Each structure stands twice: as structure tokens, then as C-alpha cells.
Amino acid sequence: MTDQQILTVVFTSIGLFLILISLGIYIFGVAVKKRNCTSETTGIVVDKVRGSNNALYPVIEYTVNSTVYRRKKNVIAHGSVNNGYPMGYELSVLYDPGKPKRCLIGGTKVQTVAAFIPAMIGTVFFAAGIIILLF
């Protein structure tokens, strides 16, 4: 096997792996929640918590059928407590009517984009592998 063929196999394999990871994240993460979270309410940023990486994460509180739920949003608010999502900021919360604790905070656009970041990187690797093969 030539060096060119080895590089092609390595780059295209990494690319395909990242694309498959991305699809898995989307299908088993975002799509399942998207399908189940059909009801909508409004959530409010009520707190910030520090994660293990010392970053601040906003805590969103929302009410469903007189029950109050609090969830940490997995988006880092860098810097002071007022950066990112300020206290009192309102966000859309999509929740599962059967399990209101299961929710998507702020809609699905950010989750969908985040799920496809590995696919974008994988596409670059895959294309590099094909280019190596052709030249």
C-alpha cells in the first residue's frame, strides 16, 4: 500500500467516523427530544451555577401544571453573572407533556447546529482524503 493510499484511508475513515458520530448525536439526542417535546412554555433564568470547568451555566426555571422545574442550560455564560443569559431573561422551553422534566431550552436550532459540527469537520477530512487520492 502506498503512502497516498494510506493517507486516503486514514482521512476518509476519520471523516466518515465524525459524520456517523454527528448523525448519532442528532438522532439519539436532538431528534428524540424534538419528537417528544411538543408542548411549550416560558422559562426564566433564575440562577447561575459553576461547573467543574469553573464556567457559569444559567439555571432556567419553568412551570408545568403548577409544578416548578429547574434545569441547567448547557451553554456557558463566560465572565460575570450578567454575561450570556442575564438573570430574569426569558427563553422558550419545549417539554415532553408526559415527562415535563425532559425539555429543550431555547428551542432546537442551537442543539441541531451543535450536533452537526462534527459532521462539518468530518466532511473536511473526507474531502481531504479524496483530494489526496486524486492527486
User: Per the structure block, which three cell numbers stand in for 92?
Assistant: 422558550
Over residues 64-122, the pLDDT tens digits come to 999 999 998 766 544 444 456 889 999 889 899 999 998 888 767 777 888 899 999 99
Given a cut of 90, is residue 50 above it in pLDDT?
Answer: no
Give CA–CA dist 107/95, Å, rounded. 10
Among residues 51, 30, 47, 54, the alpha carbon closest in space to that of 104 is found at 30
Rg (CA), the chain: 20
User: Per the structure block, which three cell numbers stand in for 103?
Assistant: 425539555
Among residues 81, 85, 1, 91, the alpha carbon closest in space to that of 40 is found at 91
> What is residue 83's predicted lDDT score, i.e. its pLDDT?
54
Q: Which residue has the higher pLDDT, 30 or 61?
A: 61
Given a cut of 80, is residue 10 above it in pLDDT?
Answer: yes
Cβ–Cβ < 8 Å for 73, 93: no
Domain residue extents for the chain: 22-115
Instruction: Give the residues across from 40 on adjacent strands.
Output: 94
pTM higher than the cut 0.95: no
Q: Which residue has the higher pLDDT, 76 or 56?
A: 56
- What does the pLDDT average to over 23-28? 91
